[in-house]
Amino acid sequence: MSDAIRVRLTGVGGYLPRDVVTNDDLAKKFGIETSDEWIRTRTGIGQRHIASGDETTASMAAEAARQALDYAGVDVSEVDAVLVATATPDQVFPAVAVQVQARLGMTAGFGFDISAACSGFVYALATASALMQSGQAKKILVIGSEVFSRLLDWTDRSTCVLFGDGAGAVLLESGGEEGEGILSTHLHSDGRTGDILYVDGAVGCPSTSQHLRMQGREVFRHAVVKLSQAVDEALAANGLTGQDIQWMVPHQANLRIIDGMAKKLALPSDRVVVTVDRHANTSAASIPLALNEAVRDGRIRKGDLVLMEALGGGLTWGSALIRM
């Protein structure tokens, strides 16, 4: 990335719905033919947060954004743009980002949503970074917010146990020291694999269920290969090796995938931020939620080199390297 305009990450925030549903709850209260043992062994998931009626993609996004602004000590009037990565907007339009602007009292600047499924946050970071590099904005809120519980087929035990709801946000600001901020981002997609993870239909497709469908084993296979490539690409672009990485903040789909990537980088497990056990897979919200947690509890500190990676429906996948 050019040294002309640096893009720093100065604020973090997150929101998790009030209701927590454990694996045992799914089996006992929801009547799903599953068990804590099955879900935990295959995915590392122990519980998830599920949004209630008043918790929407926009309301959760706005709360996470407020926290990110507070953390950075920046007033909303200084923000030039809001980007929301989501696969679960509350309405087809207006975009969630524009609704967030209204909720925050932001009357200037612009906002739009990014649709790249579970890779959405990495895509939004890359887009925001490019807008800042080109001088179109100096401060951007980048948010991932999802209510996947509303996309799930609750009669399909192979998918409904995997996901949760929530929102995470970061504030990006231009400026900073040499070598600080977003060092590079790497995006990929391949529509030929669209049929292994998708939502069956959309508004205007009345014959469809509008539920998430997935071939879990196929997704797993692609995730291991493609995430490895995206990580190698990020390291090579910056002349780094796995040993240089202080923290991995991966998309939280499955603990086995996360462990595989950590092993590849020879990163000890205490250098990997894991939330999948408590949040399950919150799609585009998972990376900023994990980052929020690790920055606020003091694990990730200023100067640390952080690697992010994600893969999702499309398939889409990518990585980002950030010096905090």
Q: 121 near 284, Cβ under 8 Å? A: yes
- Compute the least distance from the CB of residue 78 to ligand ACO, in Å: 34
- Compute the least distance from the CB of residue 35 to ligand ACO, in Å: 6
At position 120, the amino acid (one-letter code) is G
162 near ligand ACO (CB under 6 A):
yes
312 near ligand ACO (CB under 6 A):
yes
- For the chain, count helices (H), then strands (E): 10, 13
Which one of 82-90, 156-164, 240-248, 290-298 is the stretch in contact with ligand ACO (CB under 6 A)? 156-164
Which residue, 122, 50, 133, is CA-closest to 286? 122
42 near ligand ACO (CB under 6 A):
yes
238 near ligand ACO (CB under 6 A):
no
How far is Cα 198 from Cα 210, in angstroms, rounded to an integer? 9
316 near ligand ACO (CB under 6 A):
no
* CB closest to ligand ACO, residue no: 216
- Select the residue interacting with ligand ACO from 172, 311, 321, 324 (CB under 6 A): 311
Residue 275: Cβ-neighbour burial (10 angstroms; 0-12, 13-18, 19+) = buried
Residue 42: Cβ-neighbour burial (10 angstroms; 0-12, 13-18, 19+) = middle
- Compute the least distance from the CB of residue 318 to ligand ACO, in Å: 12
How far is Cα 88 from Cα 92, in angstroms, rounded to an integer? 9
Measured between alpha carbons, how far is residue 316 from residues 45, 58, 189 in Å? 23, 23, 4
- Select the residue interacting with ligand ACO from 43, 47, 67, 145 (CB under 6 A): 43
Q: Which is nearer to ligand ACO, 61 or 118 (CB)?
A: 118
**Residue from 49, 160, 254, 281 carrying the catalytic annotation:** 281
Q: Is 118 among the catalytic positions?
A: yes
How far is Cα 25 from Cα 31, in angstroms, rounded to an integer? 8
List of residues contacting ligand ACO (CB under 6 A): 34, 38-39, 42-43, 118, 157-158, 161-162, 197, 214, 216-217, 219-220, 223, 251, 253-254, 281, 311-312
Q: Which residues are catalytic?
A: 118, 251, 281
